[in-house]
Amino acid sequence: MLPLLQAMDHPCRTDQVRIGIINQNEINAANAGSCEFYVTMGLLRRANDDQLRGVLAHEIAHQDLGHVAKAQVLGAGLNIGAAVLQQLFPAAGVLAPVAGELVARGYGRTEEYAADRHGVDILRRAGYSKETMLDALTWVRSVAGSGGGGFLSTHPGIDDRITTIERLP
C-alpha cells in the first residue's frame, strides 16, 4: 500500500494513515476521508496481492480526489435544499427526499469513474499497469457479480467500469 500512497497527488503521511478491518465476508473496501481506509475480511481472505492493490488504488484515489469531503458538502446542501423546498411547497415533502437521493447517487457514479481513472494513474506512478485495476474489477465481478449500475445505484456497473478503463491510453 505504501507505494500507492506515495504515488498520490496529495500523499497521506504514513503516521496519519489508518486502516480498519471490518469483520464481514462480503468483498468491499472504503475510504472514510482523512487517510482512513476500511477493508472487509472477505476481501483480505479472497484477494491476491494484485487484486487487493487494484481495489486499494481505487480507494486511495477517492482520498486523493477529496471525494469524501465533497460528498459531505453535497449532503449538507441537499438537506438545506430539501428544507427550503418543503417551506416553499409543502406538498413537495414527499418528493424532496427522492430527488435528493437521485442527485446524490448520480454524483456518486461520477466520483466512482473518476476514482477508477485516477486509481489507474496512481498504479502507473507506483510502477504497475492499468491491467492491475482491470484484473481487480474482473475478479470482483467473478466473485461478487456484476452489480452496480441501474437507476438507484451509487456505483456504475462493473462491466461499464471495466470498459471505461480499457479505453484509457
Question: Residue 152 — very low, low, confident or very high, per pLDDT cuts 50/70/90?
Answer: very low
Residue 72 binned pLDDT confidence (cut-offs 50, 70, 90): very low
pLDDT at 108: 78
| Whether the predicted model's global pTM rises above the 0.85 cut | no
Burial class of residue 133 in the structure, from the number of CB atoms within 10 Å of its CB (0-12 exposed, 13-18 middle, 19+ buried): buried
Asked if pLDDT for residue 149 goes beyond 80, the answer is: no
The CA distances from residue 1 to 49, 127, 150, in Å, are: 10, 12, 32
Asked whether residue 129 carries a pLDDT value surpassing 50, the answer given is yes
Residue 28 C-alpha from the chain's centroid: 10
Q: What is the pLDDT of residue 156?
A: 82
**How far is 102 from 150, CA to CA, in rounded Å?**
11
User: Which helix (H) or strand (E) is 38 found in, with range?
Assistant: strand 36-40
Mean pLDDT of 25-51: 94
Q: List the chain domain ranges.
A: 2-166
Residue labelled with grid coordinates 451509487: 154
Q: Which residue has the higher pLDDT, 117 or 89?
A: 117
Write the pLDDT tens digit of every residue in 97-106: 444 443 343 3
Lowest model confidence (mean pLDDT) among 43-47, 53-57, 143-147, 151-155: 151-155
Res 49: pLDDT = 97
**Predicted pLDDT at 76:** 42
In angstroms, the first-to-last Cα distance of the chain is 24
- Please list, in sequence order, all residues whose beta carbon lies within 8 angstroms of the beta carbon of residue 112, skipping any fewer than 6 positions away: 154, 155, 156, 161
Is pLDDT above 70 for 127? yes
Alpha carbons 40 and 45: distance in angstroms, whole number: 9
> Is the pLDDT confidence value at 10 over 70?
yes
Q: Which of 24-28, 75-79, 114-118, 157-161 has the lowest mean pLDDT?
A: 75-79
Residue 83 to residue 87: CA distance in whole angstroms? 6
